[in-house]
Every structure is written in structure tokens, then in C-alpha cells.
Structure 1
Amino acid sequence: MGVIPFLPFSFHRHTRLSRRSLLSVSVAAVGLWALRGAVALDLDVGRLHQTMQSRYGARGTQALDAWLAMLQAQAGRPVAQQLQAVNNFWNQTVMASEDSAVWSQADYWATPLESLGQRAGDCEDYVIAKYFSLIRLDVPAQKLRLIYVRARMGGAGSTQSVAHMVLGYYETPAADPLVLDNLVSSIYPASQRSDLTPVFSFNAQGIYVAGGGRPAPVDRIGRWQDLLARMRQEGFMP
């Protein structure tokens, strides 16, 4: 599980609001939804292969080829099918682990290439990989959110919770988002995930909180900027 990053303003005061309202877009953000287009993800496939070969060898390039093949197979298919295929691919390819074991760091956001190479990662790594996979499949970026939550562990009645991240897909700004999660293989609407308590969400367009007005700039999350810089070095062009 990841560590919720420090931001220069508090989101935690919003966690007592309803799950639906926290996972939905604020009214002021609806206009931004209409104004901003999709964020594209281009790939320098040759450079990706070179990077993967140098770091992880043949096993890494095989994993990269499997990901590229999945993307090619899903191109142009209905979004519901793309969501399930991407969710299944990453949940089956990457083994759940902790950053301390994989990267010898308390918190590290791996690129999709790194997650493929290591075949291991934590919740943020799954979400990052799924997010950019769907962007590559031309799912509009404004319909996707990386959502920090508190996840209740231990079944019904348990009070134990941990910091966690999931990916949300919003068909419309006011929709009940679909949740892609490495802890649960099936995709459910957020209203059916009573085990999750949202904290805040973000994407390339900004950081969102319920009733928070216009989205805050995503560059307040330093790890996001570092992630994009490393992706560009590998051959991604976000």
C-alpha cells in the first residue's frame, strides 16, 4: 500500500462526506471537463525495447511485447471491454508487493515499463500502469482519475484500514465511477465498494475534492512530475 502524499492543503477534512460525492466531480469542474480534451500517449517502441532490454533482458522485453499486443488487440473496442482487459492484464502480470521490497524505498511511483520489468509493484504502480494503458487506447484522460482511498481490510465489521489507490472511470462528470482495483479483480461501481473511503483524486488535468471548486494544479504532486520525466526518458511521450 502506498503513502498518501503531502499536499499544501488538506483533503482529509472531506472524508466524512458521502462516498458518491467524494468520487464524483465537483460542479465547478464540469466546465473544465467540457473544455479540455484527451491527453495522448505516444510510444517510441524502439526506445522502449532498448530500455527494457538493457534493464531487464529478454524476460523484460517479453513482458513489454505482451503489453503492446494487449493494447493492439483492444484498440477500437468498446470501453467496457478495454477497462476489463487492462484491469486483467495488470492484475495478472504484476505481483502485489511493497516499495521497500521492490525499490528499497518507502514510496516510489514506478513507470509502466518498470512495473513490467519487475513484475511486482504496489497499488500506485497498478493504477499508473492502467491509467496510461487506457490513455494509449484513446480513453479520454478527463474520464479517468487516480483515487486515493482508505481501504477497509479484514472483512465486514473490521475497523482496520490502510492507504490505498484505485483507478476510477467516469462515463460522465456526475456518473458513479467504475473502480479498477488490484485487490478486487472484478470492476464495480464505486457505490458498491463500501470497503473504500475516498480521500482525494487526480489526473493530468488537476486534483479534485468534493465541493472544492476548480481543480488544483496537478503539479502540486511532485511524484507525478517525476514519474512523467522518467517515462519520457524510457520512450513514453505523455
Structure 2
Amino acid sequence: MAQRSSRHRLIRQKTPLLWRARPTVLVWLIVSLLSACATTKSGVALDFARQSQAIQRFGSRGIQNYEAWRSLISVLGNRTENAKLIEVNTFFNRRIQFTDDTAVWHQDDYWATPIETLGRGAGDCEDFVIAKYKTLTLLDVPAAKLRLTYVRALLGGPNSAVSQAHMVLAYYPGADAEPLVLDNLITDIKPASQRTDLIPVFSFNNDGVWMPGNPSRPAGNVERLTRWMSLQERMRAEGF
């Protein structure tokens, strides 16, 4: 995953040409990257007892992070979607330390549940995105407006020849609107057109998989992303 010095960028039909990569060329990348979404909204009760039990194994720091997260959900319920985006993005960017999976989980690539990320207080880019995505859907932000987006981050800026795999969360205010980018390496939420350091590869949510250049029509079924489906089962086991 990209280091803290790296920068990135997003998807949309009217956003610059790099976001309109050829879908047929990129389809193979989905399977090769992941060999690997049902939404729970705030109107559906969480199993706090099960979550509280799950967080115990991480000790006092994890418990503090979890309690702060629960407080965040309780105070943001009636806020605007824009306010929820800002507060959730800021919460995880400040509380969670960017750390490679090899250091946190002793695995090359591990997708952590929000409970695990809060418990460790650390995670890589996928963990930030998963935690933000799940929290926002709990706060009644429609999952259809959110996409977990794999990108190539151009290290050193848009003219760099060096890139690295990265993930960000894209928020689409409307069907034809330019997405906003929630990133763990850059504090401000910016429109995709301002993230010229990011080249989109593909995105997904509960409803399907999308390729750059065709944001309105899924290119595949999310059930093919086995790592994501496995994560859903683990989250349900933790009270989501």
C-alpha cells in the first residue's frame, strides 16, 4: 500500500480522461487483485453486546476507540450527509495509524473489520476505507452513493512515472455528480478532478463492481469478490 508521502485520485465519466480507462483491459485485474454488500443502516440495531465482547481482546486502547466510535454514531445521526462525511473521515484519519498488514496482522494482505481496526488502532488503506464505508452506511448514507475504489497512486504527483496500489472511498452526491474522495493520506475531502495523482482501476460496493469510464452501469457482480464477501461474514459475527 502507498506510504504516507504518496498521493492519489478517482473515477467519473466527466472527470479527466485517466478516469475513463478501457474496461475490457481492466476486467482481469479484479480477479487477480482480489481472487477475492449488504448495508446495515442506523435504523437496524447493532449487537452492542457482541461487539463489546469482540473488542475486549484488544485491551484498553481498543475499548477506548470503540467507545469513541459509538459516541460518534450517536451524535451524527441527524447531521447532513456532508457533515457525516467530514466527521467520519476525520475520526478514522486521526484515531487510526497507517500501518502495513505485515506489521499489524503478520499477513501480506488482510482486510480488517471495523472492530479489528478500532481494536488495533492501526491499519492500511483498505482498513480505513472499510471502516469509513461501514460507519457511513450505519449513519444512513446510502451504500449506492459510496464505492470502495482501487487506484494507482502516482508517487510524487500526476507527472510521476512511479505508482503504487492504494484504496480510497468515493462518495457520489448524485447519479451524474462528480465523486468526492475520502483518503487516509490526505485530510481534506476533495473532488475527483482535483486528485490528479490518482488513477482509478475499479470500484465496488454492495450492488456491484464498476470500471472507470462507466460509473452508471456495473461491470460485474460483487459476489465475485470473495475477500469482500468473507469480510461481510466476519462483520456479522461481530454484531453488525
Q: TM-score range by the shorter chain?
A: 0.7 to 0.9
Q: CA deviation at 1:20?
A: 4.7
Distance 1:93 1:123 in 2: 14
**RMSD value, Cα:** 1.8
- Report 1:179-190 matches (<5 A): 179-190=181-192
1:45 aligns with 2:51: no
Distance 2:157 2:181 in 1: 19
| Cα distance, 1:156–1:145 mapped onto 2, change above 3 Å | closer
Distance 1:57 1:156 in 2: 42
- Report 1:1-238 matches (<5 A): 1=1, 18-21=17-20, 39-41=39-41, 42=44, 43-53=46-56, 55-155=57-157, 157-209=159-211, 210-211=213-214, 213-236=217-240
Distance 2:53 2:133 in 1: 23
Distance 1:112 1:39 in 2: 14
| Greater relative CO, 1 or 2 (CA 8 Å, sep 6+) | 2
Query: Which segments of 5 or more consecutive residues in structure 1 lack a partner in the other structure?
Result: 3-16, 23-37
Deviations 1:11-33 (A, max 9, x none): xxxxxx824546xxxxxxxxxxx
Q: CA deviation at 1:160?
A: 1.2
TM-score when normalising by structure 1: 0.82
Contact 2:19-2:200 at 8 Å conserved across structures: no
Instruction: Give the structure 2 partner of residue 30 of structure 1.
Output: none
The percent of aligned pairs where both chains have the same amino acid is 50
Distance 2:40 2:133 in 1: 12
Instruction: Read off the aligned partner of 1:233 and give its amino acid letter.
Output: A
Q: CA deviation at 1:58?
A: 2.6
Distance 1:111 1:220 in 2: 19
Contact 2:98-2:124 at 8 Å conserved across structures: yes
Distance 1:217 1:234 in 2: 25
| Cα distance, 1:56–1:66 mapped onto 2, change above 3 Å | same
Distance 1:155 1:191 in 2: 14
Query: Between Structure 1 and Structure 2, how many residues are aligned?
Result: 206
Instruction: Read off the aligned partner of 2:40 and give its amino acid letter.
Output: A
Q: CA deviation at 1:57?
A: 2.3
